[in-house]
Amino acid sequence: MTGKLNTEGKAQRKSAPANKRLFTLKEGAAYLGRSEWGMRELIWAGVIPVVKPQAARKIFLDVRDLDLFVEANKSVYR
């Protein structure tokens, strides 16, 4: 879990504003609880699409795609 410790010593997760649709790679990784390299691997494998403006190097992740990834990978643990 990423974030700072609160006064009780428990980790607080950083979260993006509820109305924000596009996340940076770092924000998307925190949203899914993965490392940035883990996110890159999912992107390179074509599992998670990216938003890349023309003539720009920076990529963004659509929160809807991240939510779809979570829904598609849910299962019952036995």
For the chain, the domains span: 22-72
Predicted pLDDT of residue 13 = 54
Rounded distance between C-alpha atoms, residue 29 and residue 27, angstroms: 5
Task: Identify whether the C-beta of residue 53 lies closer than 8 Å to the C-beta of residue 62.
Answer: no
Q: pLDDT grade, residue 62 (50/70/90)?
A: very high
Query: Using one digit for the tens of pLDDT, what is the confidence trace for 10-52?
Result: 555 555 556 899 999 999 999 999 999 999 999 999 999 999 9
22-72 CATH: 1.10.1660.10
Rounded distance between C-alpha atoms, residue 46 and residue 7, angstroms: 41
Q: Which residue has the higher pLDDT, 23 or 56?
A: 23
Helix (H) or strand (E) holding 62: strand 61-62
Whether the model clears a pTM of 0.75, i.e. scores above it, the answer is no
Predicted pLDDT of residue 15 = 58
